Chain A
Amino acid sequence: MGAGRYNALALLRGAITGHRHWGRAWRAAEPRGPYDVIIIGGGGHGLSTAYYLAKVHGIRRVAVVEKGYIGGGNTGRNTTIVRSNYRQAPLQSLFEYSLKLWHGLSDELNYNVMFSPRGALFLGHSDADMARLAERGDAMIANGLDADLIGRDEVARLVPLLDMSPDARWPIEGGLIQRRGGTARHDAVAWGFARAADSLGVDIIENCEVTGFLREGNRVTGVRTTRGDIAAGRTGICVAGNSGHVAGLAGIKLPIESHTLQAWVTEPVKPMIDTVVMSQTLHCYFSQSDKGGMVGGGDPDFFPSYAQRGAPIRLEDSIAQSIALAPALSRLRMVRSWAGVTDMSFDGSPIIDELPLDGLYLNGGWCYGGFKATPGSGSVYAHLLATGQSHPLAAPFYLNRFADGRTIDEVGSGPMPQSR
């Protein structure tokens, strides 16, 4: 790391020297193939894949090619929630693996990603909700995860601003909390992985858009880009939101559609809510950032789009629901809303597999839940790209599961992404 290690002492030194000793967090690399592995997409998943390739598998001739700036897609557009409280075992295992990595990530990367396990709380609004939450919690614990089913009183203690009155539109009966879940600083995750991967020799090539694939028969041998052809032994697509487009450059259709998901943030205020609050009955979620803004979101926009912009009705819905749960939110002011493009797979679960062309791999289909998977996704994808074999945790997420009838449908809503 040209910049030197990050620690308090180095900051102190900077205070004296005007912080002139800090170097670039990652080099502005030029393409210089051939590479062992090219990763398309410089989001958190792509950068973490590169890092684990170099760190765990010793493969250092690796390039990450990014069409814009790193972390500029969904990595920088999410609501920063980290959790593994899924119902289906394969998802639990994959996200829990990721959650464990989150817990050591700042030290691992020597970059404070501000992972803050402040608890991820699902609210229950009826006896039936509570039974479903208990089922989820039981499944989690049975699979080695942490979960606590808590009653009204504890919910009220954790989040005093919730409307606990019995005649609320959605009365709160209790909740399921995963205390090891929480939030992280989303941009820092991309930057931290970039810096750590760079220090291991990975080339991070920004402003380099893939426009096609180099082919020898049925084998992909690299990528065509706006900065020239780059050869590679293996090529990994890691562009969730744009998986359909990039796979389309290789003539492959996927069980994925790109949809819009919006989010909002309010003006910063002093600490108001400590826990990440979510309601699956209502389709809304919110938490408070370290800067003080309440960050939240709700349903996607329900139709395919790459536009990165949404409709106000979706914002109105998620805000109305959030206010119904925490009425004091009403007087805060929204300072910004934004939209990302989500890779909606046709069972709601990711796809991590080799594609029908030799040497071409896919990591995508994360729907609106990819951020929390960042380290785990990179780790298992690196395994696939390094060995050609699926990591056991990623094996259930193979592409042919749709044709085989082995879909992993967490919500049980079937193949139409807009029903999710």
Chain B
Amino acid sequence: MLLIPCPHCGPRNQEEFAYERTLDSVVRLNDAPELAIATLYARANPRGQEHEIWSHTCGQWLRLTRDRISHAIHSVEPL
């Protein structure tokens, strides 16, 4: 049960948060189609650290740097 430090609310239980996607998979509105599809469907999926986008129920979007094996959260910043 992760404890995620929301920059807005402080440390809160995992159940208040939702994973969205990796930071490198954000499809921009004006990306060309080929780039958009590549961005949407290709993930590094590392056994280790990854930059991710999460949301908190308070409405804040977060950039988490997180380890996918240890579950350690290295940094949290508001997006």
Are B40 and A313 in contact (CB-based, < 8 A)? no
Contact status of A244 and B44, CB under 8 A, knowing A302-B18, A304-B52, A305-B71: yes
Cα–Cα, bound, A253→B24 (Å):
12
Query: Is the pair B43, A255 in contact by a Cβ cutoff of 8 Å?
Result: yes
| Distance of A258 Cα from B68 Cα, bound (Å) | 9
In the assembled complex, A14 has its CB within 8 A of some CB on chain B: no
A304 touches B45 (CB 8 A): yes
Residues facing B in A228-277 (CB within 8 A) are 242-245, 248, 253-258
Indicate if A306 sits at the interface (CB-CB under 8 A): yes
Asked if B14 and A313 make an inter-chain contact with CB atoms under 8 angstroms apart, the answer reads yes
- Is residue B8 within 8 Å, beta carbon to beta carbon, of the partner chain? no
Q: Closest approach, in angstroms, between the C-beta of B7 and any C-beta of chain A?
A: 18
Number of residues of chain B lying within 8 A (CB) of chain A? 25
Interface centre among A257, A303, A307 (most CB of B within 10 A): A303
B43 touches A254 (CB 8 A): yes
Which interface residue of A255, A257, A312 has the most chain B CB atoms within 10 A?
A: A257
List, in ascending order, chain B residues with CB within 8 A of A244's CB.
43-46
CB contact between A313 and one of B1, B37, B42, B43 (< 8 Å): that residue? B1
Q: Is the CB of B37 within 8 A of A305?
A: no
Is A307 in contact with B68, judged by CB distance below 8 angstroms?
A: yes
Is there an interface contact between A253 and B15, defined as CB atoms closer than 8 Å? no
The smallest C-beta distance from B25 to any residue of chain A, in angstroms, reads: 9
Asked if A416 and B42 sit within 8 Å, CB to CB, the answer is no
A302 surroundings in chain B (CB, below 8 A): 18-19
Alpha-carbon distance between A253 and B50 when the two chains are bound, in angstroms: 14
Least distance between B47 CB and chain A CB atoms (Å): 5
Tell me if A415 counts as interface (CB < 8 A to partner B). yes
A365-402 contact mask (Cβ, 8 Å, vs B): 1 or 0: 00000000000000000000000000000000000001
Report the minimal beta-carbon distance from A250 to chain B, rounded to whole angstroms. Answer: 12
Could you tell me the distance in whole angstroms from the C-beta of A349 to the nearest C-beta in chain B?
13
Give A375 to B79 CA distance when docked, in angstroms: 46
Q: Which residue from B19, B40, B46 sits with its C-beta under 8 Å from A418?
A: B19
Q: Are A248 and B44 in contact (CB under 8 A)?
A: yes
Q: Bits for B3-34, please: 1 = Cβ < 8 Å to A, else 0.
A: 00000000000110011110000000000000
Which residues of chain A have C-beta atoms less than 8 A from B71's C-beta? 305, 307
- Partner pick for A311 among B2, B19, B38, B42, CB 8 A cutoff: B2
Q: Return the contact of A402 from the options B2, B14, B41, B47 (Cβ within 8 A).
A: B41
Q: Tell me, rounded to whole Å, the shortest Cβ–Cβ distance linking B31 to chain A.
A: 14
Q: Which residues of B contact A416 (CB under 8 A)?
A: 20-21
- Other A-B contacts than A254-B43, A256-B43, A303-B52, 12 sampled, CB-CB below 8 A, are A243-B45, A245-B47, A248-B45, A255-B41, A257-B45, A302-B19, A304-B52, A307-B70, A311-B14, A346-B40, A403-B41, A418-B18
